[in-house]
A and B are shown apart, each in its own frame.
Chain A
Amino acid sequence: MTGLGLGPLGGAALLLALAFAAWGLIGGALGAIRRDARLLASARQAAVATFLAMTAAIAVMEIALLTDDFSVSYVAETSRIGSPLWVKVVTLWAALEGSLLLWGWLLSGYWALLASVAPNTPLRPWALAVMAGVQTFFVAVPALMAPPFQVVSPVPMDGPGPNPLLQNHWMMAVHPVLMYLGFVGLTVPFAYAMAALITRLPGSEWMAQTRRWTLIGWGFLTAAIIAGGWWSYEVLGWGGYWAWDPVENVSFMPWLTATAFIHSVQVQERRRMLKAWNLLLITLTFSLTLLGTFLTRSGVISSVHAFGDGPVGPAFLAFFLLVMAVSLGLVAWRWDQVRDRADLDHPVSREGSFLAGNVLFLAMTFAVLLGTLFPLIVEAVSGDKVTVGAPFFDQASLPLWMGVLFLMGVGPLLPWRRAPDQSLRVNLAWMSGAALAAAAVALALGMRGVYPLLTIALAAWNLASLTLLILGAVVPRVRVGTRSVAQVLRAYAFENRRRFGSMIVHFGVVVVALGILGSSGYRVDEQIRVDFGGSAEFQGFELTAVDRFMDQDENRISAGAIVDVTRNGRPIATLRPRINAFAGQQMTVPTPSVLYTPWYDIYLNLGSAVGPEQDFVVLRAVRSPLILWIWIGGAIMALGTAYALTPVRRTVPATRRATREESART
């Protein structure tokens, strides 16, 4: 290519972004120290400038990917001419360098948005400076350590294309972006928490400023984890969705601490308690996102997810340690100001249940962290190699989850401060009745085992609690007014977005819990050999191997089996499990075919390759009850979060406005 190539152009955009981000940090910090309004304004502009420069870098990379410009190193290493358009677009985050670029871009978007919309409070200068600091790191890594824009010479004719596991499912276009949006969103409350410590204003101000951002980050993280599970179910071929693999654990830990955080901030808002606790939680959450990136990008912990290594690992480690030391150091330094002065009035109160829930979430975080790091600790101490498998994580977290489900039902019904009153006893009686009835029905239907029965009981407990919450809100309003139940309910849902949104999210959690119960507790997994033309019995279904098939396009060859699924001779579905081979890649990808139904999924994957002349097929057949509800529950949780975030329009009905104006006049 003659003239200025895309590589140098993208590299220049990144360096420009780095300079702007560094100025945002230096200028912002200086401005905050000297209270210099001009410097602060300049630092805010640096946020927007960084975002523009990062956007330019992203645009250059997308142009290079879409025009197959293999003179750009990232394109040469991860893209391919024959890939479909959508694959080329998402190849941006199919490998390490590109995904860090995306992360830096999304972060710059949040930073620029924050700089533009954040109200002018004493916290803002430092919060923006902390954002700038994080941003500087996330631009420096792609600009200096993992450069995606290096010039390749001679220019290759074609590249290998992205990792086949990533090309194999459209979910890969969604999951990483959601994950980064989640991680990046949680940077904002962290920045405000640090600002609160620096400015000695550790009250509720920083939380009020960041409530929305925290929920946005949490909502994206929730959606990302569920989407990741679905991707794994549809792609990895073992019929499961969660394996306690380190890379899953490191995305789960910040979610746990963030979940604890969004509950405990309410205690501080209402009761001015748990100041230090909240600061620690958000610090922990942010540090855990960095720790996760370090662990998965450095190869320190053995994981099925192979990411590239290189200088990025040490860089993330250094940044993680810096963040830990500085932020925890700040908390320790300001301890006298953040210490709680109020005490819990009554353990059985709203704040008491939040506190107990926090303890459970933190215990779970610790268990997952310990299980993830344990092999490394053992190897460091004794040199032995051990692995920690799913049984440890299941046993450690299941009882804690039961506790969380219990508290989720009872907590929202408890009053703040006071000891519970009579109405709570009545509510608890209803909920206990529902739980016992559900458990009895499950027992009668043949369910056994402590955890399955307990999960069913707690699901009923929560559904009863949600019903009581809504009845408690709606019934008095219906009684006093002339409006119908539907009108009252709609008005209640409209006026109490946060509360109603949280109910939707909690309902989603119950749905997910039932999905996990069915799919993990009652899953059947068999290897079946079927001759072509013949059939085999699987869980009351007949699987008939009709034929083998081969599809081929420019980018992909699929070879697999056509399997008819029938029940008592009645056709249910035709599934086509296959093995996909992508051009440019040696690895072949067994690709399952799934029949989704509300009650159970039938999941078929090829147990071995189907050669063109082979007269049988080995199938891995999995029947997972209720698994569909995990994805639906996840969507409900995301919707509930979005609902809680929708701005309340302050429209007051004309009549009420009139009375209000009257009362103002008097």
Chain B
Amino acid sequence: MTRLLLVIGVTVLLGGLFLFGLLRGQPDRNIESARLDRSVPAFELPLYPRYQGAYGPTLDLADSLGTEPLIVNFWASWCGPCYQEAPDLQEAWRRHGERVLFVGVQTQDRGKRAEGRSFIDRFDLGFPNVIDDDSAISIDYGLFGVPETFFVRRDGTLMYKHTGPVDLELLEDKIAELTAS
């Protein structure tokens, strides 16, 4: 009898544990950036001509870093998912560009000015896009591939990094989080 009770006890205990696991929902599987909650590196890079009227020939991130929330998006003209996410980035910028600085960085795409320009024109991207010709910035940011998007708090620390294409829903969520703090 004791043995039967032991069996029942073990079964119930294990069952309870796993039931808890099931009900708790999915654990977070996103691998976090090592830069999370740390300051992101500043950079100064040449701008595409269409933005030079508003920002000058180069964009110096140091001017904005630590004063306003930032979204830094890395892309390349040869990257398929970048084309997929670009309209959503443009729409998010149209809605929130006043409060959050959006910066596009063309990276791992040396010399592809014409392709970069046609990428920008295709989606009529209103936020400034810079050229990271020797891909130095992508190394500073620990980029694995494109696209990747970095959400930087007002104090210059990284709140969240997204690997792969972003969509409008995610952008809205993260922007709400960025501007709330």
Contacts and interface: CB of A to CB of B under 8 A. Distances in A.
Interface of A: 294, 298-302, 306, 309, 313-314, 317, 321, 324-325, 328-329, 331-333, 335, 373, 376-377, 379-380, 385, 579, 581, 586-588, 608-615, 618
B10 A299 contact: no
Given A317-B15, A321-B14, A376-B20, A611 B78 contact: yes
Interface string B84-107: 000000000000000000000001
Given A321-B15, A324-B14, A614-B110, A609 B21 contact: no
Contacts of A587: 164
Residue among A298, A328, A579 having the largest count of chain B Cβ atoms under 10 Å:
A328
B22 interface: yes
A325 B78 CA distance: 57
Contacts of B6: 332
B11 A328 contact: yes
Contacts of A613: 109-112
Contacts of A306: 29
Interface string B1-40: 0011011101100110111111010111100000000000
Interface string B119-144: 00000000000000011001100011
A373 B17 contact: yes
A513 B143 CA distance: 37
Contact of A329 (B4, B19, B165): B4
A302 B24 CA distance: 12
B77 to A, nearest CB: 9
Residue among B10, B18, B80 having the largest count of chain A Cβ atoms under 10 Å:
B18
Contacts of A579: 145
A352 to B, nearest CB: 26
Nearest to A314: B22
A380 B20 contact: yes
User: Ordered nearest first, which 8 A-B pairs have the shortest CB separation?
Assistant: A613-B110, A611-B108, A300-B21, A332-B3, A302-B27, A328-B7, A325-B11, A380-B20
A329 B7 contact: yes
10 contacts: A300-B21, A317-B22, A376-B20, A608-B138, A608-B139, A608-B143, A608-B144, A609-B108, A611-B107, A613-B110
B158 interface: no
B109 A299 contact: no
A383 B144 CA distance: 33
Place the interface of chain B in its size category.
Answer: 35 or more
A384 to B, nearest CB: 13
B115 to A, nearest CB: 10
Residue among A380, A609, A615 having the largest count of chain B Cβ atoms under 10 Å:
A609
B29 A332 contact: no
Residue among A380, A587, A615 having the largest count of chain B Cβ atoms under 10 Å:
A380
Residue among A306, A314, A588 having the largest count of chain B Cβ atoms under 10 Å:
A588
A300 B18 contact: yes
B32 to A, nearest CB: 12
A324 B164 contact: no
Given A586-B164, A608-B139, A615-B110, A325 B21 contact: no
B8 A313 contact: no
A559 to B, nearest CB: 9
A328 B111 CA distance: 69
Given A294-B18, A302-B28, A586-B164, 19 more contacts: A298-B21, A299-B27, A301-B27, A309-B26, A313-B22, A325-B8, A329-B4, A332-B3, A373-B17, A581-B80, A586-B81, A608-B139, A609-B146, A611-B109, A612-B110, A613-B109, A613-B110, A614-B110, A615-B134
Nearest to B8: A325
Given A380-B17, A608-B143, A321 B26 contact: no
Contacts of B164: 586-587
Interface string B47-78: 00000000000000000000000000000101
B7 A332 contact: yes
Nearest to A607: B144
A161 B64 CA distance: 43
B29 A586 contact: no
Contacts of B29: 302, 306
A324 B4 CA distance: 12
Contact of A612 (B18, B20, B78): B78
B3 A317 contact: no
B17 A608 contact: no
Contact of B26 (A299, A324, A331, A586): A299
Contact of B10 (A313, A324, A333, A609): A324
Contact of B135 (A299, A309, A385, A611): A611
A294 B6 CA distance: 23
A325 B9 CA distance: 10
A609 B145 contact: yes
Contacts of A335: 3
Nearest to A313: B22
Nearest to B4: A332
Residue among A331, A579, A614 having the largest count of chain B Cβ atoms under 10 Å:
A614
A298 B81 contact: no
A301 B27 CA distance: 7
Nearest to B24: A379
A586 to B, nearest CB: 5
A453 to B, nearest CB: 36
Nearest to B84: A586
Contacts of B134: 615
B34 to A, nearest CB: 14
B111 A586 contact: no
